Chain A
Amino acid sequence: MPPFIQIRNLTKSFKKGPNLITPLQDLSLEVPRGEFLALMGPSGSGKTTLLNLIAGIDTPTSGELVIDGRDVARLSRAQLTRWRSRHVGYIFQLYHLVPILSAFENVELPLLLLPLSRSERRTRVEAALELVSLADRAHHRPPELSGGQEQRVAIARAIVHDPELLVADEPTGDLDGESAAAILDLLSSLTRDHGKTIVMVTHDPKAAAIARRTLHLEKGRLIEQAHRGGAFQAPSPPEPLST
């Protein structure tokens, strides 16, 4: 079975003034379907750059980036946008919810891009909010929610369109210990019970400990891998996110 994410000799560089910056250099990596992968490393090590490339919100300078059999490095901007809307869920450190919209409306945003009726959207949003245990906060706006609740709404928004891939940029970085543990449990269950492949950037070793594998990056290169448990086995067929 081919790996879900296959990266070969991936390089990202850009010009900043007269200098050529290369945050990611000649990186190769494979991620099986359903794996929970943590990326660690000091600031400027290239982990967020790698995450953005995998999420399709940035494009590599060279190399190969194949996700679920599709070489996303070769997609046009419009194709990449369409691919992202169907296959990727992004979780930000600072939640990045739209403040004037309710939790329900925030979660509904990715579904507005799909050909779904209002009732279909409602069913999916309610299921996603139920999954993150926030059904009773559906009509609250972000300022009326705690940090942990906001992040759970952001996770519901990331999974509502049922993408195979979730990318998370320090999802617990702005949360207290208890809320962070709840978020990590939730992410863990998304891999375990729903077969999602998760790539997470973190500075927190406790957060990384939840992941099955941790990669350490430094100066744009992979320097170390740590596995937990035995050989990786793809999860059993995932449960659907919505009824």
Chain B
Amino acid sequence: MRDVAVVGLGMHPWGKFPDKSVQQLCRVAVDAALKDAGVAWREIDAVAAASSRFSGGRGWGLNGNDVVDDMGATGIPVYNLSAGCAAGGNAFNIGTMLVASGQHDMVLVVGGEKMPKGFIQTSGVEETTDPEYLRQICIGVPGPTFWAFMCRRRMADHGTTEEQLAKIAVKARQIAVHNPNARFRKATTVEEVMGSALVSFPLRLFEICPVSDGAAAVVICSAEKARQLTTKPLWVAASAIATARFDDGIPRGLAGAVPADGKAYHSEAAAAVRKAMEKAAIGPDGIDLIELQDNTVFYELSFPEEWGFCKPGEAEHLLESGQTMPNGRLPINPSGGFISFGEATTAQGLFQICEVGWQLRGDAGERQVPNAKVGLAQTLGLGGNGSASILKR
């Protein structure tokens, strides 16, 4: 397999843009990524795109075709990739394989999204054969409540407090003050977060990411092409995807079996991250920063433990001692995370690649992780989809 370089990063800021179409958002991100790479559109050999069910794609998830038509149809292959909220991460995975395998030399990976208002209904099917639909009508358990269950169990196991949950949101917003692409750029306080409405106890409004509009794009290429473009390319150390295991104990529908080991964890995320670390031959100690999918602040506590970055029950201590800040021992979400950006579902995986890229180039300004050499990006999506990519400089 060939080495894969990351040479172009581009983003449209996250927010609510009622007057712009998803095509307009993607255009901004793609133009920025091409300009950053120093590459013209006609030099792109293929597109790997995240498929959305909320915007663009002509109802079929053909979001990559929308981009190609908008940029100028050159006849190149388009790979539309559907993986729920993990689609951006999975599209990046497909893109790297297109280059690594020698199929294509210069690939654009793109994800853009305009989200409907309010909490999203994860499943798009209203039939009693759909477990999520049944969960809604029989019990009334929307997405945030699913997170609340896991969080409440952690509180019982590790004594996590409501204040600690609030502190994670405070930390995210403290960082986002320095990120011009973030939607929520005003610092907040524990009091303000604790004073925000309870959505699903123990989780409050400011501890759950809202939906946003946004787009991000990345240009990747072969080492040979990269050398023609720049003296300092970034490299894809590894990219991996996985799906959930049958026995991981997370109640995704109405019911499952009580797990034999009593533990419940996102096996798709853990498997993707561990596979990526194995492929890259880089362990937790060799990773300088993590961009993880913080739909809720809870994941900033659970994920690092589930992936072996700290011991069970240690995450609260890392948070309280400032170790998850950009200048800490284990920087988590130096972008400000989903909590500060909101979730433009299928674009999130590429927003993460952009942030990790800017950090590794030393271009992250006030939120810079000092001397960052290796970064991990991770997403999670409906259907039990997980992705993880490790970039290095």
Do the two chains bind? no
